[in-house]
Structure 1
Amino acid sequence: MAGSTFGNIFRVTTWGESHGKGIGVVVDGCPAGLELDEDDIQRFLDRRRPGQNRYSTPRKEDDTVEILSGVFEGKTTGTPISMIVYNKTQRSGDYSEIAGYYRPGHADLTYDMKYGFRDYRGGGRSSGRETIGRVAAGAIAVKILDRLGIRILTYTRAIGPVSIDYSRFDRSVIKENPLFMPDRTAAGAAAAFLDECIKDQDSSGGVVECIVKNMKPGFGDPVFEKLDANLAKAILSIGAVKGFEIGDGCAAARARGSENNDEYTLSPDDEIIKLSNHSGGVLGGISDGSDIILRAFIKPTPSISTEQSTITKDGRSIQIKVKGRHDPVIVPRAVVVVEAMTALTLLDMLFAGMTSRMDNLIKFFKLTDGQ
């Protein structure tokens, strides 16, 4: 299977299946000398771990990470970092009957069309557990970005019809509710909505929003390697994501140029700044120094107990109710996945951009103009 590697300089390859022996990732291109241990990774994995509240699957997984290579005496060595999380509570029998039919909303049919074969136990590579590798790698990327002063804030913007009110935005509330919403009132309303979904044996989608602060201007390329294009690819590579926006996003199509353009002025320090940020921090595919603001639109969990129509592998029409342990909403556990993919993209493009100017190289080699 091709397509399991992401990035050019900071390269990530994920591997493993949801009901295989384990899930893992290999990170290549991490600079030597970064202080790193398993706790740094575990903190991120704990944010996507199942079974923590009634709005995630009741499946209990420790998702404990082991670093197998690339770290010595608490620091990265510059060689590939390999990490693994062993699968410990698989119940493959829950999925035995779906081997003969295609679940609506899942990749069952397309996998069979492409490969003529599929791992039906929990979806195999198309399972949400594949994101463990992304999050583990993203934890490293976030730590490097943090050392460079680049901060990422990610949260749930909406669950179903319930959206946050920015006048009540409080980042301290994000970790205080199971939905990771920065608005306590909206979190309560969203929880009530999800309770109705659970009662109806149904599920919900939602929106994850991500804000990147202190990203330097000048990163990203103007044609096929645009920063926003690569962010879109990264976010849309997450299994449940069906839409992506940056800045005003789709609302820009309904605006006038006079409304959508970000005008410039000088700061008290004589730096050029924008009076607004409709562009979401990227212009011409290149970071402009303002906050990068992006959104991931996530579909409802396809595994629901409501009766649905489908087709068997031998062409019969049947009615099914999907069994197993499933999330009524994917969005809260996807928050850290969106953050990880954002960090991986930014770091890779930052590394690539270091060689775009001669003065950067001169600074690196500590040369003077006469040398």
Structure 2
Amino acid sequence: MAKVRKQFKLDEEITIERIPEKHCMMCLNQMYTEQKLCNTCRHLPLYIGDWNFKSVNALGIYHKYKQKGYSIPINVLSELILLLKFRKGKKFRTFAGSLIAKGLFKIFEEKRDIYNDVSHVVISPKFKSNEENQVEYILNPFIEILNQNGYDIENLSKRVKRLEDVGRNKEKGFEERFNDINGVHEVRIDDLGHADIIILDDIFTTGSTSWDIARALKERNAGNIHVLVAGRHWLFDEWPINTLYSNGDFSFDYLINYFSRTDYNRDRKKISKVIIIKLDVQENYIYALIKGSRGNYELDVDLDNNILSHSCPDFKNDKKRNKKFCKHISKAFLNIRKGNEKFSSSVLNSIYRELDIWQFDMK
């Protein structure tokens, strides 16, 4: 796989990495050849028949790396999608959804040649009408941005119904997903009049859900159908960062957002109030003494042995297992940056690129 890196700003401070080359030009599947289409798209199985949609576009890659029973998102976009899908609290989902919507609108404008005639947008419905649909946190700000920029696009999501519950796809194989979802969706409109439509979603894994929604839309005389998603789900057995992005370092801002679960952007006031009592920065070692609400906390970063240890309760109860920073660690690295930005970026890059072998421990 080629290692071409492209970045995409969701706002002034949060940047994501786009899907690297080489990928399938139809379904965005990862590729290891110089062909434009992956094997699936070149030879669609009989149970798929036709993709039904014309294109797939995504902000970037979504993946959770499993280690010791915990899931570690591999990038900033995966963090945002996890906030959207699993973090309790409307404010977190609103935060993530609005950022993703901004990014999807940038794709919309970037590829106006294919979206020029789009007049409707739909999302995948839930089987139970009273069940919260997290994709609405993307859909609503996305439509608002479209309207603000002069695009007249109608939301037809309430006219798309799921007729039965097919259960969770997570444990299913490729063929089983398509067989189970075939015919599940229904569009309650007599004739769409060849209208071009966007199917909006948070994640595209096999494409089975979008495939069946597109089938239902085509049965109602839809025109071109385009799939627009936050993350294309690629699966990796090993920590994939060096494989995906071998050329060039990541910026300090990108990595501090990643390790802080974007808290640096959302909770900058909390981080700014952290007081670093002592900071000792050596070539292979970092030590910080930090004032905390329950006494002073310590931070050790052993660069020779790949160990980061810290003593605050938030790190112990949440951040440690997911290999993330609490506000104290974030503030320490922000202070290091003031004195030596090159060194602080180098350390964060070293941790990120080899996160699978780094230990995050209680001190």
TM-score (normalizing by structure 1) = 0.21
Determine which structure has greater relative contact order: mean sequence separation of CA pairs < 8 Å that are 6+ residues apart, divided by chain length: 1
TM-score (normalizing by structure 2) = 0.21
